[in-house]
Amino acid sequence: MSKVVGIDLGTTNSLVAYVQNGAPVVIRDGSGDGLVPSVVSIGDDGTIFVGREAQRRLLTTSSRTVYSVKRFMGRGIDDVRDEASLLPFRVGGEAGGVVRIGVADREFTPPEISAFVLRELKHRAEEHFREQGEFDFEVDRAVITVPAYFNDAQRTATRDAGRLAGLEVLRIINEPTAASLAYGLDQKNRGTIAVYDLGGGTFDISILKVEDGVFQVLSTNGDTHLGGDDFDQLLMRLVLRELELAGSGGASAEMVQAIRKAVIQAKWDLSDQDDTDIVVEPSAVLPQGYRRRITRDEFEALIRPLIDRTLAPVRQALADAALLPKDIDEVVLVGGSTRIPLVRRMVEELFGRTPHSDLNPDEVVALGAAVQADILISGRREMLLLDVTPLSLGIETMGGVVSKIILRNSTIPASGREMFTSGVDSQTAVDIHVLQGERELAADCRSLARFRLRGIPPMPAGLPRIEVRFQIDANGILAVSATELRTGIEQAIEVKPSYGLTDEEVERMLIESFEHAEADFDARLLIEARNEAESVVHATEKSLRRPDLHRVAEEELQPGELQRIDEALADLKAAIAAPIAH
């Protein structure tokens, strides 16, 4: 029997997990790392690099490397124009259509880039099962997680990415809900839980009620454009300003990436330390190098306005669940950005209780996805997720006003219906515009699709009674059908997704994807060795940055050992930086 896995397809990192002997486990590489950076790089010869190798290439071949593509899933160019400025890759596309990502002379849609990441995870899982001696180690089905606040277009784009990667997407589930499932495993208790999920690019808050193994989401809210990436950008702009390069276009893509790497390291440091240095080592891209002291207070002052932005969605979610902060029994933190002490403090203040973080906030979502995959395949019934649709769904009526058909926070699956008629005699088709969002005017909501109902029997105006049915499935994805009630004729519906791919486009990409070369076996071995070396470098450098390093060196190291460590470290870094020969 082929394998099923749970996948957390993150903005910054992605993970794959599965259920082994009843318990979910993350699949790791040789150096014990479960995270696959969601970075894709394309070599001169068309070879696709994914993960840590692609992350390294970000520093040397920035313009051929794509990261944070999740921010562009299911979106149009008009949504993302502002944030494209510091990115090394081209972000384009026609107005009112899907975003296109330009790398060298090629263009990709965000689902295609995500599919490369998913294929890497599939590959990682298959290697793992093969090593375990599984006869059928193929991984062809997966549960993939998305931010709870993802709209229909973003969910559909994620499902398309799965298809392009050769995976049957068993289910799309929400990240905070997946996390609660992982937490619920060893805590059979009941109560009301708030999951605060601040990741690399997105923020979600979900309020759940857990009873008798049923995890019922009461409400959810969020911001699909708020996360660690934004903190990085603030720091990057600070550095660029100090280098007097902001906005002048004077910074090369490689320099921007070197700065990005440095500020991310500093951001991590400041979760454990009161101050640290932002260090860009001198190199070809920045000969003079850069070093700057930054304190935690300074960093917190910088990012506080962004963290403040998470509070309004939290309050709205509580209001929608008709609860007060004191009604919440447990608060669970998910996502790498919740390691930031300021985030913890603000969440603690808001709910008046210490948040849970027993499980690794980077891994908990993938673990939950694995549990859900196991539920679907095994039919085990001790746990059940009842999630909600995050945004109201409606249609445009005359005057550009939205008539809501399924309200936000409705438990899914959910259905709704609406009656239509013709405006003129013998009209045989009606146009319908489907929207998602809370605002009253269609122009302020998200356009999901335009439908044309055809085949209405010719009748005087106002006589046809066309029932349009909306069905949101357990993935939170919408399907539409319609019937003319007087004749019982089922209507043909043509779908034109506003920010998505048509089935034909996905089919075509599926064929094209077979033509993309992936790194061959030898290259993979080398990449794995470099990954392992990088882990060693990272751990060593972390130790070398300890404030009490000198005391430790004096007490526990041989004379000269520290210097030998430095030399070995420099050699290893040089070896890593050497390009892969092709």
Partner 1 sequence: MTPDPIPVRSVSTLECRNCGAGAPIDEHFCRSCSRILALGRHGDYFSFLGVPRRLNLDMQELERHFRELSRKFHPDYYYNASPTERLASLERSSYLNDAYRTLRNPAARIEHLLAIEGLPPARSDESTGPGQGAAKVPPSLLEEVFALNEELDEVRELRESGADPSALRARLDAARVPIDARRDDHERQLRELSGQWDALPADAAPAAKRAILDALRERLLERNYINNLLATIEREMAGSGLSPLGSGPLGHAPEA
- DSSP notation for 104-133: TTEEE-HHHHHHHHHHHHHHHHHHHHHHTT
Q: Which of 3, 8, 112, 120 is catalytic?
A: 8
CA dihedral 366, 367, 371, 372 (to 10 degrees): -20
With CB under 8 A as the contact rule, the residue among 377, 526, 562, 576 that binds partner 1 is: 377
Stretch that binds partner 1, among 25-33, 176-184, 282-290, 408-416 (CB under 8 A): 408-416
- Note whether 436 and 498 are within 8 A (CB): no
Q: CA 220, 226, 231: angle at the middle one, nearest 5?
A: 145
- Residue 360 or 471: the one with the smaller Cβ distance to partner 1 is 471
- Alpha carbon distance 549, 560 (integer Å): 14
The letter for the amino acid at 226 is L
212 binds partner 1 (CB under 8 A): yes
Binding positions for partner 1, 294-323, rule CB under 8 A: none
385 binds partner 1 (CB under 8 A): yes
Residue 168 CB, nearest distance to partner 1 (Å)? 11
- Tell me the three state secondary structure of residue 362: coil
Residue 20 CB, nearest distance to partner 1 (Å)? 20
170 binds partner 1 (CB under 8 A): yes
- Note whether 91 and 77 are within 8 A (CB): yes
Residue 412 CB, nearest distance to partner 1 (Å)? 7
Q: CA 186, 187, 189: angle at the middle one, nearest 5?
A: 155
Token output for 453: 């109902």
- Residue 12 or 422: the one with the smaller Cβ distance to partner 1 is 422
Please work out the total of residues on this chain that contact partner 1, with binding judged by CB under 8 A. 45
488 binds partner 1 (CB under 8 A): no
- Residue 26 or 375: the one with the smaller Cβ distance to partner 1 is 375
403 binds partner 1 (CB under 8 A): yes
Token output for 548: 């009490």
576 phi-psi bin (left φ>0, alpha ψ -120 to 50, beta other): alpha
31 binds partner 1 (CB under 8 A): no
- Residue 3 or 237: the one with the smaller Cβ distance to partner 1 is 3
Residue 455 CB, nearest distance to partner 1 (Å)? 17
Residue whose C-alpha is closest to residue 173's, from 371, 414, 383, 392: 371
Q: How far is CA 279 from CA 261, 269, 298, 454, 573, in A?
A: 9, 12, 16, 63, 16
Q: Which of 197, 374, 396, 534 is catalytic?
A: 197
Tell me if residue 8 is catalytic.
yes
Q: Is the peptide bond before 413 cis (omega within 30 degrees of 0)?
A: yes
412 binds partner 1 (CB under 8 A): yes
**Helix (H) or strand (E) segment spanning residue 563:** helix 561-577
What is the x/- site pattern for partner 1, positions 332-371, by CB under 8 A?
A: ----------------------------------------
With CB under 8 A as the contact rule, the residue among 384, 492, 525, 549 that binds partner 1 is: 384
- Residue 233 or 415: the one with the smaller Cβ distance to partner 1 is 415
Residue 490 CB, nearest distance to partner 1 (Å)? 15
Task: Tell me the catalytic residues.
Answer: 8, 70, 175, 197
Please give the residue ranges that form the binding site for partner 1 (CB under 8 A). 170-171, 211-212, 214, 216, 372, 375-377, 379, 381, 384-386, 397-399, 401, 403-407, 410-421, 423, 462, 464-466, 471-474
